[in-house]
Amino acid sequence: MVEEACCVPYELVDIGANLTHPSFKDDILAVLRRSKQAGLSKIIVTGTSVKHSEQARELAALHKGYLYFTAGLSKIIVTGTSVKHSEQARELAALHKGYLYFTAGVHPHDAKEFDEHTLDGLRTLQNEPNCVAVGECGLDFNRNFSPPDQQLAVFEEQVKLACELKKPLFIHEREAHNDMVSILSRYKDVLPPAVIHCFTGTAAEAAKYVEMGLYIGLTGFIWKDRSKNGVKYALQTRKIPLERLVLETDAPFMYSKINDKKIADHIKRVITEGARNMHKFASFSRNEPCALAAQCELIAAYMDESALNVATVTTANAKKIYGLC
């Protein structure tokens, strides 16, 4: 099969895509083909449970040797958020070995399901060669689908696992900044590289995470940030410096409405035709990895940087964190 030309002139890494989500079940190959047109050559599949991490692993294995693409968005990480989802992420990664990678962890929403067997399942998944991080794990006190005390205990178990295995952490945090800082600070001397995934907090919170040596993952959420001291302000004031920034779509979630009337015209104008053309395949109902180029250009505009520089530095950051080549 002859590959279609890449639509963007730079390389990117999507550090988090939920490609085991049911919305991708019927057309995953088309989704991956579009991601390659948008410059993606590797993807990390998110595992949110042991089962979903298994599925991510299998998905990555299914695409062994699937595309040899060197330009544009170079890697996609499919995140595991429970044992079940981590298994699914593993399966997806196995389908596309060399292009898809996966993470294995238990999402805070699923903390209530954590038992004595869960950690064993995660440990087994972490031994897989294309499992690149512990997570998605963390704290979500916004929705509290699991009791806060259980979230705290389960998250700390996964922090300990990451420290033991020296594997990066892929962290979910919603309205739990102080508790997050407290837990991570206890392990500061042995903490591996860690990413605050899909950051939606304040500039002050971002600055604290950066001070702790953490990385900040940004999604399409930026288009709807209306706060005076939120993500946009953090970018404009470099509370999130480029050397601590990584990019992710969190597909099929976190769609970026790049033509929203509340985005200033001078910001919207920077998005290139190639990025716009790929962004058209994404929607509120299903975001796709191919939308990351437009997201990168939007972030670059808020930072008053070139998209090429943002892409180059964030790609290098992702490769360093996850040991990708």
Q: Is 156 annotated as a binding residue?
A: no
Whether residue 197 is annotated as binding a ligand: the answer is yes
Amino acid at 311: A
Cβ partners under 8 Å of residue 83, min gap 6: 49, 50, 51, 52, 53, 54, 106, 113, 118, 121, 122
CA distances from 234 to 14, 79, 206, 237, 257 (A): 21, 25, 7, 5, 20
Is residue 17 within 8 Å of residue 289, measured between CB atoms? yes
* Coil, strand or helix at 181: helix
250 among the known binding-site residues?
yes
211 a known binding residue? no
Whole-angstrom distance, CA of residue 167 vs CA of residue 134? 6
Contact 3, 42 (CB under 8 A): no
Task: Report how far residue 283's alpha carbon sits from residue 254's, in angstroms, rounded to the nearest whole number.
Answer: 10
Question: Which residue in the block uniquely carries the two structure tokens 């689908």?
Answer: 145
Q: Is the dihedral of CA 312, 317, 322, 323 positive or negative?
A: positive
- Residue 106 backbone phi and psi in degrees, to 5: -120, 115
The pair of three-digit structure tokens given for residue 193, joined into one six-digit string: 């590289």
Annotation: binding site for a divalent metal cation = 136, 172, 197, 250
Binding-site residue set: 136, 172, 197, 250
